Structure 1
């Protein structure tokens, strides 16, 4: 028996493809030569590939948004923390190299942040009579350079003139 006769015998031994069944093109299960038999090619169609790429792009964009929002939040928190430290440092300077007297002073820090000190006589809230005490209400406001007024940090305290506190 020759190779040719074996090959012919195998092709005759194939089961016939029933009408309406899918036959794989170029496979050992059948040929797509009949117009009545639906043919399916191996691999993905163009539509399936485009849908997969679209889903992948959507996932990548969502991950990008999450990473971006986390980075913005980290920058915001870092700026706010620097503003808190600057406000505490300015508050600690009042009475030392900044005079403890009624004033409204402002300036700018080296990183571009703006600060403001407001010192006024303290008036106890809730009293009908406006009784003044010897206390001074000290307010220090620091606004980060990138956050402007909405991220401003305000520290308030009471100080007694003539004391070193």
Structure 2
């Protein structure tokens, strides 16, 4: 046989319960509004964190592609002035731009040719603004030199 135990949670009966009888409708609505606002802010913070994590991953992959392209110059890609372009999986597009470094007087005075090599990697379609650019200098034999 079970007996009902009064825990005090619902001890007040309908009727005149006094000033501490329970929450009013306005208090309940205010509490729900505060809860809704708090949850909205929390979800926005979590969403922004997830989005930034994805952006960081894409940026890291773009950096790897740019470094790889720079490393291929002089082996797979000839070391000479001009542009070379390509695509990688995941929607990444890269371009290598090789141009003489320094002004004409510098280039005549230096014993070797110096090329400024820029690797640009972009993703997310044209106009998205997603991209990275790495630049380095490489030396090469002067053309016409023995």
TM-score under structure 2 length normalisation: 0.74
Mark the CA change 1:156 to 1:71 in structure 2 (over 3 Å): closer, same or farther: same
> Which structure: larger Rg?
1
Indicate whether 1:137 and 2:116 are aligned. Answer: yes
Q: 2:48 aligns with which of 48, 69, 83?
A: 69
- How far apart are 1:114 and its partner, in Å? 1.2
Q: 1:25 aligns with which of 15, 19, 42?
A: 15
In the aligned structure 1, how far is the partner of 2:91 from the partner of 2:74? 24
* Equivalence map 1:104-143=2 (5 Å): 104-124=83-103, 130-132=105-107, 133=110, 134-143=113-122
1:49-70 per-position Cα deviation (integer Å, ceiling 9, x unaligned): 1111000000000101110111
1:82-101 per-position Cα deviation (integer Å, ceiling 9, x unaligned): 11111101111111111111
Q: Which runs of 5+ in 2 are unaligned?
A: 1-13, 142-146
Mark the CA change 1:149 to 1:40 in structure 2 (over 3 Å): closer, same or farther: closer
* Matched residues, number: 124
Q: Which runs of 5+ in 1 are unaligned?
A: 1-23, 28-38
Mark the CA change 1:146 to 1:59 in structure 2 (over 3 Å): closer, same or farther: farther
TM-score under structure 1 length normalisation: 0.66
State the secondary structure of the residue aligned to 1:95. Answer: coil
In the aligned structure 2, how far is the partner of 1:147 from the partner of 1:41? 64
In the aligned structure 1, how far is the partner of 2:125 from the partner of 2:20? 58
In the alignment, which residue of structure 1 is the partner of 2:22? 43
In the aligned structure 2, how far is the partner of 1:62 from the partner of 1:131? 58
The answer on whether the counterparts of 2:63 and 2:132 sit within 8 Å (CA) in structure 1 is yes
In the aligned structure 2, how far is the partner of 1:82 from the partner of 1:118? 20
